[in-house]
Amino acid sequence: MKKVIISDATLRDGSHALFHKLTKEHIVAYALAADAAGIPIVEVGHGNGLGASSLQVGLSLLDDREMLETARKHLSRSRLGIHVIPGFATINNDLRFAFDYGVDVVRVASHCTEADITERHISYTREQGKEAYGVLMMSHMANKEVLLDEALKMQAYGAEAVIIMDSAGAYLPHDVQDRVGHLAANLKVPVGFHAHNNLGMGIANSVAAVEAGARIIDGASRGFGAGAGNAQLEVMVAVFARLGIETGIDLYRALDAADIVEREIMETTPYISSVSLVSGLSGVFSGFARHVNLAAKEYDVDARDIFFELGARKVVGGQEDKIVEVAMELQQKIKRG
């Protein structure tokens, strides 16, 4: 029987959907439920990862230490994971203390063509005896050859898995099979996949990833994540069970965890809004959706036009300031007729 490791992004990717306003009560309730379900890895933190709380990408209600300390206290079976983007997170100010708070798995992420920046963070994590994964974000912006080249760097730096993220929810299943298959055939470490649901393909793409050789799959309960949300974790557990893919997760408990997210944490259940769909089509990071909607309202322009223009400019996560710039330019264009 095929086995996969499910990595749960609910308390990290879901932070985007709450404008990074996760509370201690949210973390306690969900961590207990995820732990009871036997979810192998539970990620916690700001949507953009450790050290990312800022005016530019959104201020966290809780600081990183509070989030990690709270989660750690309520996870016994599940391992505690964090998302780390070098630049937001520094080794001395952020990563060092994260280990003091009991982090087990560090997912060191970069834009899909910039794996070079992950070397020190991956090395430092390995030096502390902890597990380090490399994560290539916005992976639809690179072809499979470029992704392999970047993934090989992460492998050389000491990454014990390389995960490609469909940050914009832009993939169709054959895109996933093409890329994951190429990585799985050429890397010595396991390959993982992180889906977003902008085109309604979250589960289908995750299945395609496993069929192509992925061994680590990300999901979020009720799909609670940026934009149209992630691959819905409890659905994934059920579908994988039907396909004979072992996750080691208790389905009933996973359903309970999802109910807690819907009842106690999320403001609205993720759905494929027009804007999210356009985000997927234009290949723009799902997490931009709320910022784009606000800018569209403020400058009285069509959010869909903003997305397509951002896509044309190949804007990536961390360039949120471009949203307002594009909105203002579109407004000027309209005024000029």
Partner 1 sequence: MDNHLREMITADCQEVVGPSPEALDKLRNRQVFVTGGTGFVGTWIAELVIFLNDHHNFGTSLILLARDIDAFRIKTPHLAERKEIRLLSSDVRNIIDLPADVNYIIHAAATPDNRQHMSTPLAVMETITRGTATLLDAAATLQSLSAILNISSGQIYGRQCCATPTITEDAVGSLPCNTITSVYPEAKRYAETLCSAYWSCCKLPIVTARPFAFIGPYQSLDKPWAINNFIRDALTDNDIRIISNGMPVRSYMYPSDMAYWLLRMLVDGASGQAYNLGSPYGITLRDVAEKVKAYANTTAEVVIKQMHPDNSVFVPDNGLVSSTLGLEIKVPIDETLKRSLRWFRGAFRR
Catalytic residue annotation: 16
- Say whether residue 218 binds partner 1 (CB under 8 A): no
128 to 167: interface string for partner 1, x by CB under 8 A: xxxx-----------------x--xx--xxx-xx------
Are the beta carbons of 172 and 201 closer than 8 angstroms? yes
- Could you give the string, one character per residue 35-74, with x where binding to partner 1 holds by CB under 8 A and - elsewhere? ----------------------------------------
Q: Shortest Cβ distance from residue 127 to partner 1 (Å)? A: 5
**264 binds partner 1 per the rule CB under 8 A:** no
| CB-based contact 86:114 (threshold 8 Å) | no
How many residues bind partner 1 (CB under 8 A)? The answer is 21
Query: Could you say which of 141, 162, 189, 289 contacts partner 1 (CB under 8 A)?
Result: 189
Q: How far apart are CA 139 and CA 193, in angstroms?
A: 10
Give the CA count within 13 Å in the CB-facing half-sphere of 67.
Answer: 30
* Cβ partners under 8 Å of residue 300, min gap 6: 331, 334
**Measured from the CB atom, is 128 or 273 closer to partner 1?**
128
- Smallest gap from residue 300 Cβ to partner 1 (A): 46
Nearer to partner 1, 187 or 275 (CB): 187
Neighbour count for residue 149 (Cβ, 10 Å): 12
Please say which residue, 131 or 259, places its beta carbon nearer to partner 1: 131
Phi and psi torsions of 287, nearest 5°: -65, -10
Alpha-carbon gap, residue 316 to 308, rounded angstroms: 13
| Contact between 35 and 42 (Cβ < 8 Å) | yes
Nearer to partner 1, 132 or 220 (CB): 132
3-state SS assignment for residue 88: coil
Report CA torsion sign: 317, 322, 327, 330: negative
Q: Quote the tokens at residue 36.
A: 């009871």
- For helices 144-157 and 173-186, angle between their N-to-C axes, nearest 10 degrees: 40
Which of 72, 73, 215, 304 touches partner 1 (CB under 8 A)?
A: 215
201 bridge partner residues: none
- 96-125 residues in contact with partner 1 (CB under 8 A) are 116, 119, 123
CB of 317 to partner 1, least distance (A): 22
188 forms part of the interface with partner 1 (CB under 8 A): yes
CB of 153 to partner 1, least distance (A): 4
Residue 156 beta carbon to partner 1: minimum distance, rounded to whole angstroms: 4
DSSP state of 268: S
CB neighbour class for 55 (10 Å; exposed up to 12, middle 13-18, buried from 19): exposed
CB 106, min distance to partner 1, A: 14
- What six digits make up the tokens of 327? 């909105």
| Binding stretches for partner 1 (CB under 8 A) | 116, 119, 123, 126-131, 149, 152-153, 156-158, 160-161, 188-190, 215
